[in-house]
Structure 1
């Protein structure tokens, strides 16, 4: 084995990662690669119910939209609510956003289904700047006032669905391609 070639190869790889990390491009590249992976359909939401399912959703809470208006969780009571927690620095969050946008577009005329994607960046400007110029379409807000007990999560992205009866009927930590007929039907039939 030629150890000089090996060192050069590893040096090149590490230099590339350092460049991506220090320029802030690592989450962009990571998100693009993961989005392509999601497009294959290999990663799908797990629709079987989990431990949090059928727990009452806590409607206490408020967010700020990116125009500075307050959004009250209480205003979603009685509807099916798709909530996604994300951050601008999260590659998996970036990866699933185009797919959530497509799901939203296919359901935006359904009167009883609401979407809310909540940015968790410490600074609302980071979340706002991340979304600026993106072609994605979905209702967004920022967790400027914190998260209630129903929205506490160990990781992001986290997605949950609340039934019109106020029960958590879907909860998943980690990325997924929610833009599928199966998931669309799941939302419509709640």
Structure 2
């Protein structure tokens, strides 16, 4: 009986410690959006923080992911609707970092979406092993929208979110 009580106590303490750690991690993540670096299919390097001052649409995907492939035409259509607007940036990040393969996919489909791969660890606040995942950052680099799973990006909701933040000072 004493062993059972000791095991239960140990489990409760472990759960409390994990919960306390998770709470402190998520609290710190909401105050400052972490940075990470990317490389595009032409070898150009950028960081998320270097894009501050612009609204940033980030989509994490892979060529083998069926929901990713299904939503890609709507992401491309959304990007095209903002064509020529230098206040918004679209990033499609291949989580497998297979840039030649993902670039060939985009070219084959006649999509104009730029393809990137992470060159540093991607913070969990952006992506954590679930694709597709999409995050939108405001001009200050703060997360304003985040969704895991496929979505139709031709919806008025997404266009409204982007437009409102593009037009904000």
Normalised TM-score (structure 2): 0.72
- Which residue does the alignment assign to 2:154? 179
Aligned to 1:112: 87
Shift of the alpha carbon at 1:75? 2.0
Instruction: Give aligned pairs, total.
Output: 138
User: What is the root-mean-square deviation of aligned Cα atoms in Å?
Assistant: 2.2
Show the counterpart of 1:57. Answer: 33
For residues 172 and 91 of structure 1, the distance between their equivalents in structure 2, rounded to whole angstroms, comes to 17
Match of 2:61 in 1: 86
Cα distance in 2 for residues equivalent to 1:151 and 1:125: 23
SS of the aligned residue for 2:78 comes to: helix
Separation in structure 2 between the aligned mates of residue 138 and residue 149 of structure 1, nearest angstrom: 23
Q: Is 1:156–2:131 an aligned residue pair? A: yes
Give the 3-state SS of the residue equivalent to 1:151 in structure 2. coil
The question of 1:71 aligning with 2:74 is answered: no
If the length of structure 1 is used for normalisation, what is the TM-score?
A: 0.65
Conserved 8 A contact 1:82-1:114: yes
Equivalent position SS for 1:189: helix
Counterpart of 2:75 in structure 1 is: 100
The aligned counterpart of 1:168 is 143
